[in-house]
Amino acid sequence: DSGVTQTPKHLITATGQRVTLRCSPRSGDLSVYWYQQSLDQGLQFLIQYYNGEERAKGNILERFSAQQFPDLHSELNLSSLELGDSALYFCASSVATGSKNIQYFGAGTRLSVL
């Protein structure tokens, strides 16, 4: 158990809908990262938050947004969903930011858009 909690584990929805994925980081971790993993692909970095503020953006679509709350949990919002958004979405957390801060991953949310 990495200590990073993601809910829900599975999500099935229809095209055009909006969903929210939730992540609770490990106790004491200030940084949260979101990744997308499509079938048989590697991990694509989406966005990072550090202590409530957006720190970096990767390949995140405009239809997607995220935030980190004062209690440090984070939510990833996906709107106007398309079939191609079906993927595993992972949250990771680290103590701080920078190359020596190891990211620990949650078990992921599997999103299926029908």
Partner 1 sequence: GQQLNQSPQSMFIQEGEDVSMNCTSSSIFNTWLWYKQDPGEGPVLLIALYKAGELTSNGRLTAQFGITRKDSFLNISASIPSDVGIYFCAGTSGTYKYIFGTGTRLKVLA
Site string for partner 1, 36-75 (x = CB under 8 A): -----xxxxx--x-x----xx-xx----------------
User: Which sign, positive or negative, has the C-alpha torsion 55, 78, 43, 33?
Assistant: positive
- Tell me if 25 contacts partner 1 by CB under 8 A: no
User: Cβ 83 to partner 1, closest distance in Å?
Assistant: 20
**Tokens standing for 9?**
């584990």
Paired sense of beta strands 10-13 and 109-113, if any: parallel
Instruction: Identify which range of 13-21, 62-70, 76-84, 99-107 contacts partner 1 by CB under 8 A.
Output: 99-107
- Say if CB 33 and CB 93 are below 8 A apart: yes
Question: What residues contact residue 42 under an 8 Å CB cut-off, 6+ apart?
Answer: none
Six-digit token pair at 103? 């990211």
Q: Considering the complex, what minimum distance in angstroms separates the CB of residue 24 from partner 1?
A: 13
Q: Does 34 bind partner 1 (CB under 8 A)?
A: no
Question: Minimum CB separation from partner 1 for residue 101, in Å?
Answer: 8
Q: What tokens appear for 60 in the block?
A: 């995140």
Token pair of 87, please? Answer: 């993927």
Which residues form the interface with partner 1 (CB under 8 A)? 2, 4, 6, 31, 33, 35, 41-45, 48, 50, 55-56, 58-59, 90, 92, 97-108, 110
